[in-house]
A and B are shown apart, each in its own frame.
Chain A
Amino acid sequence: MRLDLEGTSGTSRKKPGVRGSRIRPIGITRAASQMAMRCLAVLCLLGIPAVACAQSEPLDFDNIKPVPVFSAGVGFITAFQGGTPNLDPLVSPVILVPLGQNWLIESRDTFESDLAPPPDGIGYKGVLEKEVDYLQVDYIANPYLTVTVGRFLTPFGIFNERLYPIWIRDLQSDPLILPIATGPSGAQTGAMLRGGFSITPRVEMNYATYFSTLSTINRIDSDRDAGFRTGLFFPGPRVEIGGSFQHLLQDDHSNAFGFHFEWQPPSTSLDLRAEYARSHNGSGYWIEPAYKLTNAPIWRHELRHVQLVGRMQQFFTGTVVDDDLPVLNTNMFEFGMNYYFRDDIRFVSSYGRQFATGGNENVWTLGLTYRVALPLGHGDVQ
């Protein structure tokens, strides 16, 4: 989900924060939100058998035949942007179809709505937005190389490809720099080579390099460009550092580049992530520490489920205006608190303040997120 911060973006390609538009009076909307909560509850129940049937016998893992899997990120977020409440239900189903030993077909769609009070103030309105996030075929050619064709998430920086899903992100708003080089709707249409391998037992390298064609087809649009991302991961201290580059093969043939950093010290429950990106549309960075209170001195049993998050970010405008990016230099601070009922279901909340020359604004979010995962066939080895 992409919360758009009022006054920073113009009309956007994948309009953040404005989704949803079945015109309804507020009473029905409440019913709709209750319905969404019920759906979440049912989905939670559906998830339980998956946990229950995990096996305890050792298996000949080379002979485990993978089964198609359905998984989905589900969320219901209420956001207050500059005092206006928005209701954001979202479902993002993922289908995984493994073929043979080396193939995988994967796809993700997003259905989301942003229900906001209309100017006359009666009820909530919005449109249901649908998006094909990716639809790709992966061929694991050898331990070092996977070939992907189709529509795939742009591997530029870390947020778009790794942290975007509603059930993964620690704060529900998008980083301001997310639209830099990720292309319209965050995806590319073309081919990609990627992989990861150990350089030494202490260092792993990962890479993704891609070429994308221009697509103007609604819901599967993309730019014509080429780029790569590479990273070094140190499994001991759990640090990753990396960089991304992209060259646009259309319009002004501009370049974009970025760097990322991730650190999860093994001895604590801290996640520290940061990204910097620059293109002619602007530049900026975000830094996000997240800490789970696993070792709190008091109420350890309750507090170990609590995660505290902060994010600081700055955006500086570039020479060419991009509708998805803030039109003014912007600073933003956010603080969040998430409560994990399990690894896949949590309550999320955050408060943020955005400072821009055009005016400052508060952003609050509250919600529930859930990830369901089910086998489409027998999950157990017969």
Chain B
Amino acid sequence: MTARRYVTCGILTLAMALFLTAGALAGNDRSGTANAPATATTAAASGKQDEAALRIEGERRFRANCGRCHQAPHKFPPRMMATIIRHMRVRATLTDEDMRLILQYMTQ
């Protein structure tokens, strides 16, 4: 096998592995990922204190993530913010949990 094929196969294997891992993790994850938001939702319902804690966590994640590439933006109307966060999730490879907490923070 030539070096070229090696590299191509390597990349394809890596892609496959990522796909499979992602799929497997996603299977677990329905509970796992939803964990943060689910925790978030339950917590929010369970009282004002938890809501404040979520807001603080959302703000922390906003500060850690949204000024990394450009100046941290101001708030936009909620439906617009949802699109922007989806865009940034893809572009900035933000985690699902970051995305949800930041969206919640930015629409409050």
Q: Hey, which bits of chain A sit against chain B, CB under 8 A?
A: 50-51, 53-59, 61-62, 64-69, 96, 98, 104, 106, 138, 140-146, 148, 161-163, 165, 167-168, 193-198, 204, 206-209, 211, 226-228, 235, 238, 240, 247, 249, 253, 255, 262, 264, 266, 340, 342-344, 373-375, 377-381
With known contacts A142-B26, A196-B94, A207-B93, A380–B77 Cβ distance under 8 A: yes
User: For residue A255, which residues in chain B have a CB less than 8 angstroms away from its CB?
Assistant: 7
Asked if B53 is at the interface of the complex by the 8 Å CB criterion, the answer is no
A198-B93 contact given A144-B21, A264-B67, A379-B77, CB 8 Å threshold:
no
Partner of A197, one of B70, B86, B96: B96
**A168 and B67 alpha carbons, distance in the complex (Å):** 11
Q: Interface of chain B, helix or strand or loop or mixed?
A: helix
Contacts of A204 in B (CB 8 A): 95, 98
**A67 touching B80 by the CB < 8 A rule?**
yes
CB contacts between A and B, total, < 8 Å:
192
Question: Residue B84 at the A interface, CB < 8 A?
Answer: yes
6 A-B pairs with the lowest CB-CB distances in the bound complex, closest first: A379-B77, A142-B26, A196-B93, A143-B96, A206-B93, A54-B75
Per-residue contact bits, chain B 20-51, to A (CB 8 Å; 1 contact, 0 not)? 01110110010001000100010000000001
Whether A198 and B95, one on each chain, are in contact in the complex, defined by CB atoms closer than 8 angstroms, is yes
B7: nearest residue on chain A (CB-CB)? A247
Q: Name 10 interchain pairs, CB-CB below 8 A, sorted by A.
A: A51-B75, A64-B78, A67-B83, A96-B87, A143-B33, A144-B25, A148-B90, A162-B91, A196-B93, A209-B14
* A242 smallest CB distance to B (angstroms): 10
Q: Is B56 interfacial (CB-CB < 8 Å)?
A: no
A64: chain B residues within 8 A (beta carbon): 78-79, 81-82, 103, 107
Binding site for A on B (CB under 8 A): 4, 7-8, 11-12, 14-15, 18-19, 21-23, 25-26, 29, 33, 37, 41, 51, 61, 63-65, 67-84, 86-87, 89-98, 100, 103-104, 107-108
Q: Are A379 and B93 in contact (CB under 8 A)?
A: no
Tell me if A67 and B70 are in contact (CB < 8 A): no
Please, which residues of chain A bring their CB within 8 A of the CB of B19? 145, 193
- From B10, which residue of chain A is reached at the shortest CB distance? A247
